[in-house]
Every structure is written in structure tokens, then in C-alpha cells.
A and B are shown apart, each in its own frame.
Chain A
Amino acid sequence: MSDIFMNPIEYLPRLPLGEWVDSFIDWLLFHIGTVTRFISNFLEGIMGGITDALMWFPPFILILLISLIAWRFSNRGVAIFTFLGLTLIYNMQLWLPALSTITMILIAVTISICIGLPVGIISTRSPIFHRIVWPILDFMQTMPAFVYLIPAVFFFRLGVVSAMIATVVFSTPPVIRLTGLGIRQVSEEVVEASQAFGSTDWQLLTKVQLPLAMPTIMAGVNQCIMLALSMVVIAAMIGAGGLGGHVYGAIQRLNIGLGFESGLAVVILAIILDRITQSSKEREEE
């Protein structure tokens, strides 16, 4: 009896948070099965299409093309690095997994921007919406990335699609945040000037706010790509394949050499993607 006073918390019934989430997921699964199947097929189709298209190119030509893109968006140094880095990846026989990783990132980032940009914009138009969305973003970003894998698998089975969904969930918040931030940073007086000339809200957005917020939005896109890359590797645990798959395999087999090689390939991709998006952000600022 004295124990109950010494340690009362142990006598409280345990809150079944985990069970609630489980039953909620079950309920969802049951009701939106058709929708998830549709999304699943759709993404798999796109994914396959893009990978096929990329694989159609002879690797060497594709490496040259990507280097040219790097030159166009950034500078010669980045272009040379891109060329050497991709050649090394090819040389390590990691070209195909690298392609599938790039494809997954491209799709996930595109979806993230398509969701993040409008949500970010709406959050600057409606304070209530902002107050609802921001805590959700905090929640999404502080949640350990692995946790997203579980519901993703539930809805979309093991494989590329659930990996991509988890990646989108993980990498969208910075786009939303920095879009909102960029628009809110536009000076009050400039916004006032635009309104004083009788601009509609759409004109204010497209002619003044978005152009001026563009450097910040690009920083968000850059972050989004980096997060997507890191998530795509983690998502190998649920069958994403690609470079992450090789890393994951290396861990399981304790194959240090293979682990290092695929890790290095991820780093090379990260640097290339970062430099290309970074510099297009800087050019916006000029």
C-alpha cells in the first residue's frame, strides 16, 4: 500500500497510443485501398518510364549531358567534378543503382515542390492555415525518419513507391517553410506599393512576392533535395533499391568495401545536386 505513494505513476493505466495509431491505420487501409493502389500504380509507371529513358542513353553520353547541365547552371569547376564523380560511380559499377536513386529523388522532389509551394503560399494568405500547418511541420521534421517507413509500407507495400512516399513526407517541410518565409520576408512597403497600384492578390503574388522570394524558395528546394537523398538511402530498408540498397546490403553482410563504395557514390550525388541547385539560387540573388 505504501508503494502506491512512493511510485504512483506505475499504478496509472498505460495509455494505448500505439494501439490507437494501429487501428487508425487499419481503418484507413480498409477505406482508401483503391486510392493507394492507384497512386502506387501511377508512381511505379512514372518511375519505370524515367528509369527506362535514362537507361536508354549510353552511360558515357548521359554523364557528358549531366556535366553540361552542371556547367550551364553552375560553373566549369562543378562541371568537371560532375564528370569525374559520375565516371567514378560508373567505374565502381554502381551506375544503374545511382540512376534509380536519381530517378526516385527527381520524382519525390517534384512532388514535394508541387505540394510545398502552394501550401507555403496559402500559409502566407491565411493566418489560421499557418497556425495549423506549422506545428504539423515541426512534428514531421522532428519525427525520426524511420517512423515514416512503417505507414508507408502499410499503404503501399514494400518497394519503391512506399519509399518515395516516405521521402516526400520527409522532404516537403523545408519547401513549405522556406516558401512561407521567403514571401513573408518581402518588405512591407513593397507589398503596400503593389497594393496601392491596385494589384489583385494574384498579381501581387506573381509579379512581386514570388520573384523576390525566389532565392529563399530555392534554398528550400535545395534542402528538399538533400533530405530526399538522405531518405532515399534510409528507405532501402523497405526495398527502395538503388544506392541505398547497396549500402543496406553492405551493412547486413558487414562488407566494408562495398559499403564505402556505395556510400561514396551517395556523397558524390549529394555534392553534384547541391552545387547545381545552390548556384541557381545564387544566380537568382544577383
Chain B
Amino acid sequence: MAKIMVENLSKIFGNNPDKAFALLEEGYTKDEVMEKTGQAVGVYNASFTVDKGEIFVIMGLSGSGKSTVIRCLNRLIDPTRGKIVIGDQEVSAMDADELREFRRHKQSMVFQRFALFPHRTVVENAAFGLEIQGSSKEEREKKAQDALELVGLKGWGSRYPDQLSGGMQQRVGLARCLAVDPEILFMDEAFSALDPLIRREMQDELLALQEKVGKTIVFITHDLDEALKLGDRVAIMKDGVIVQLDTPENILTRPANDYVAKFVEDVDLSKVLTAEGVMQSPRVVAYPKDGPRVALRKMKEAGISGIFVINRQGQLMGYVNAVDAKNAAEKEEPDISNIIEKDIPTVIPDTTINELFETAANASTPYAVIDEDKILKGIIVRGSLLAGLVKEASKDE
């Protein structure tokens, strides 16, 4: 279900937007419009939806309009044209009072340079949103403390922001947002001011936190790795226009144009491609009640040295290799249930290839990709791991 719906959002900075629109419709670029009319195009005709509970990433370099988009969503910047619907409310049509109520209860925002209040303690910072809402002192104190605990800052409440490191300051920024328990989080380059190690740590924590709180998140970044890591879907912007909106994997493997392709060519695929992306479908499987000869014949036909065994529900039971099956056949065993290896490596579909590599070396069987119900979704042979990477990499050339 779409939580946020944006239709043809445009923002022109300047006193004569109509002139700019006329040129844009004729296909002029942002720079040309600036030169001809003096109007700065912030965003032009951006349309997208964000689902409930999704992390939606908008990626672009500086000047691409990504910060303008996110500020239009809570109307820190008023859009020139376009419609923004969040939940069942049309944000783009709200008057000042409705907008204030919306900002207080439905959303909150994390800023690039933290934007903490230097004259307030950490806990007073975290309680700011609640204070603005007018909730009682005990209530906001309690909720602020809870939020600080959630971001791992328990016990730091009485410090001042400038006594904290950058990473911790941004945790306060995050706690300040979570304290009001909004449905939507807007994160404007939230981790960009942090150094790389801390940034990665914060990204992991955001993902872990998201598992717990399940907010709808719109995340702005100029870092493609970050976008691909965090985003369920990623919109890539250039010169105020969304040039591609897709899943991280599709952006990598099917860039919409040269601009995106150039962006993604430096990405370390092994960090982004997942098991799901390189697995093969399990065409040939055995069942526990199959006789050893049946299993052997299936292997022979498929040209493989072992076979995965599943039950009638499709759940993975284990793995049978050819040697065991041959021995069992010679002993005239009725079925293969006694020779199933149960202790085999399994991964979930979201596992990155990078993580796969770490254990691939000492595994003797292929990987079984299973979901949370243990249903066998696919298999990964070590050879196809490398092949997958090479294939994706060579596609760009």
C-alpha cells in the first residue's frame, strides 16, 4: 500500500516559473533554462510512491534536486506544481494549521549536519518534538529516554551535544525523531557528515532499527553504495529529474541510461548482489521416499554429483551425493531417507555474495537458498558465484 504518493512534483526557484516550465516542456535542460530565464530548476516532474514500511532512497549528486524533493514532502519548501499525498492527506493542499499538525505527528526529519539544539541537553533535544506538541514534562522525559535507549545512548541524556562525537550526535538526531513516534522518517543525507567506519555502523544500525520499528523511510544520499545498501527501491536523480527508479539490483544490472551506468560501474558487485540474484532454480530435486536408483538417475540426467532433497511442502530436507546413493543402491535400500546429509550450508535470499565468499571455500556441497519457512528457493554452485559476478560486470561493456 502506498504511504506516500508524489505526482508530477516540480519546484522552480525564481519569480517566473511559468517561463521555465515552458522551456522545460520543450526539452531544455536545467542549465539552459537557467541561462535563458534566470529561473533555477530544483525539481521537474518527479513522480513516485513509497510503500508503508519501505526504505525509499533518493540518490543524486549535489544540485540534483534530491534535498528539494524531501523538503517538499514536508513542505519546508513549497512545491511550485504537483501533488503530494501522504496517508490519506494531501500535503500539498494543507493550510498552515493542518501542516503544523502534520509535521508534529506524522513525520520527522534527520538532518545532514545533525541540527541539534546546542543550548539543550541530549535528553532535552530528544524531547523537543514532544515539547512542541505540548505533552507533559514527565511524558516527554520518559519517551525521550526510551528513544535514546533505542539508539544506544542510554545514560548520555544530561550531556550537551557538543560533548558528543559526530556519530553520537546523529544518534541524538535520530532519537529526537523516534521520540515523537512518527509514521514517516525523512533522512536528509543523515550519515554523510560521518566518517566511513561510523557511517557503515550507522547504516547497519538503521537497518536493524528498521526491523524493530518498521517506519516508512525516505532517505537522501549522494553515496551509491549507501543507496544500494539501504534502499528497498532507489530513485536516481540528475538535474532535477528522476532518471531511474528501481530496486538496487535492477539499477546495477539494468541501468536505464549512460548516466546511471557510469555511476554503477565502480560499485563492488559482491557487496550488492544477493544470493537471490545469482541462484539457479532447483530444477532437479529428490524426495525422501525416492529409491537410491531414482536419485542416481536424476543426477545422471542433470549431470550433477549430488542432489537436494525436499519434502512435499517444498521444505529442504538435506543433500544426497552420488557415492552414497550408489552404495545404498548396492545394499538394496528401499529409499534414500537414511543417507540424507542434514548438516549442509544454507543461506537466505538476502545474503550478499560477499558474505557467501567467506564460507564458500570450505563447503563441499552447493548452497541451498531457503526462505524463513525452509522452502528451497534455489541453489548456488560455487562456479556460478564467480560466473554471476563476471556476467554482471561484463554486461556494462
Contact = CB atoms under 8 A, between A and B. Distances in A.
Contacts of A143: none
B111 A197 contact: no
Nearest to B71: A192
B103 interface: yes
Nearest to B124: A207
A135 to B, nearest CB: 25
A47 B132 CA distance: 42
Interface stretch (A65-73, A91-99, A198-206, A234-242): A198-206
Given A189-B115, A212-B118, A200 B74 contact: no
A218 to B, nearest CB: 14
Interface of A is mostly: helix
B102 to A, nearest CB: 7
A253 B113 CA distance: 65
A193 B102 contact: no
A212 B119 contact: yes
Contact of B74 (A189, A194, A196, A212): A196
Nearest to B186: A196
A197 B108 contact: yes
Given A192-B111, A193-B111, A207-B131, A198 B100 contact: yes
Interface residues of A, number: 17
Interface string A169-195: 000000000000000000101101111
A29 interface: no
A198 B117 contact: no
A208 interface: yes
A198 B119 contact: no
Contacts of B100: 198, 200
A189 B74 CA distance: 15
Contacts of A192: 76, 111, 115
Interface in B48-107: 74, 76, 99-105, 107
Contact of B180 (A189, A193, A197): A197
A190 B76 contact: no
A7 B23 CA distance: 58
A197 B134 CA distance: 12
A211 interface: yes
Contacts of A187: 115
Contacts of B118: 190, 212
Contact of A197 (B99, B112, B128): B128
Nearest to A284: B119
Contact of A198 (B103, B113, B116, B186): B103
B129 interface: yes
A57 to B, nearest CB: 37
B128 A190 contact: no
Contact of B132 (A190, A203, A211, A212): A203
A193 B133 contact: no
Interface in B206-250: none
B109 interface: yes
5 contacts: A189-B112, A193-B115, A196-B109, A198-B99, A198-B104
Interface of B: 74, 76, 99-105, 107-109, 111-113, 115-119, 128-129, 131-133, 176, 180, 186
